[in-house]
Amino acid sequence: MKAARDADSVALVINAGARLAAAGPEPVVDNLQKAGLPIAAVHLVRSGADLASTLDRVAADGHDLVVVGGGDGTVSFAAGFFAKTGTVLGVLPLGTANDLARTLEIPANLDAACAALADGKVVDIDLGRANGEPFLNVASVGLSVGLTESLSPRLKRRLGPLAYGVAAVRAYARHKPFRARLEFPEGDHEPLELENMLQVAVGNGRHYGGGNAVSPTAGIDDHTLDIYAIPGAPLREHVRIARLLKDGSFVERDGVYHLTTQRVRLVTEPSMPVNLDGEIATITPADFTVDRNAVHVVVPQYSTAARLDG
């Protein structure tokens, strides 16, 4: 299958709790059917357990294209579920940040996203794993965990993407520095001891946190993990770093660590929760790996984020 129009059977799975899902599945179904996609089943999910059981049913029904509408956490879970299966994933950005859609150059507007999906091509993207748990964008410890804990559904509904800035300020005020150690099982880097840290992140994709970039060169099809570590510093320095988050150039500032690898182990003191695409899913110590070309996904014809190379 090289294009969405090659699909024989399409299942639509929508997270009913996603910020932009209030209108229900009808507009999406109408748009996709008008574009010629054979929608055979529609599922609304309302919890993580509901999502897992729904994907089990979808897989058993043998659909060759599964379109998932929701935020990055929902799509990452589905990507992990269908990784290495041959089932193609379609993405409709219905969440708050929609960073995977941004990486894949999928339009934010729902009508445009449906049109781009119906006319889209199939590519392969990498899948990150932290202690076996899947992520597509970024895994991180430190400030981002506090940010996620401050991002209530109510705040996201009220402010949309601006909620990330509000939550970041709250998390920064409560943050406690931590120690970390990066170990490289493949021997491509020496172990790295880190003191007084603000955040350590491991990126598989390019975008995270509502449009920030992991680094200027990060990509979801480059078969590597981008690691950055930001140490504690005076507030004025963190403000300077924050201004450079959008293009990823903050990794070039003195004191910020940045390197790439295919496998890394993160140990922290104390043990800390790990944020995977906006969901707290595991704890440190954590082993990070990248599954090359693990997920088949539909992207717009003009997207240059990835290619189909098996």
Per-residue pLDDT of the chain (310 residues; tens, 9 = 90+): 899 999 999 999 999 888 777 777 888 888 888 888 899 999 999 877 799 999 999 999 999 999 999 999 999 999 999 999 999 999 999 988 899 999 999 999 988 999 999 999 999 999 999 999 999 999 999 988 877 777 666 766 676 777 777 777 777 777 889 999 999 999 999 999 999 999 999 999 999 988 899 999 999 999 999 999 999 989 899 989 989 999 999 999 999 999 999 999 999 989 999 999 988 999 999 999 999 999 999 999 999 999 998 7
189-234 pLDDT, tens digit each: 999 999 999 999 999 999 998 889 999 999 999 999 999 999 998 9
pLDDT tens per residue across span 227-245: 999 999 898 999 899 899 9
Q: Which CATH superfamily is domain 4-125+294-299 in?
A: Probable inorganic polyphosphate/atp-NAD kinase; domain 1 (3.40.50.10330)
CATH class given for the domain over 133-292 = mainly beta
Predicted TM-score (pTM) of the model is: 0.91
Q: What's the N-to-C CA distance of the chain in angstroms?
A: 12
pLDDT at residue 283, rounded to an integer: 97
Q: What is the dihedral of CA 249, 253, 256, 259, to 10 degrees?
A: 50
Residues 6 or more apart from 120 whose CB is under 8 A from it? 3, 4, 90, 298, 299, 300, 301
What share of the chain in percent tops pLDDT 70?
A: 98
Which ranges in the chain are annotated with CATH 2.60.200.40? Answer: 133-292
Instruction: Give the pLDDT confidence score for residue 165 in this predicted structure.
Output: 73
Which residue intervals of the chain bear CATH 3.40.50.10330?
4-125+294-299
Q: What is the pLDDT of residue 159?
A: 67
Helices (H), the chain: 26-34, 48-61, 72-82, 99-104, 110-118, 143-150, 153-159, 163-174, 235-242
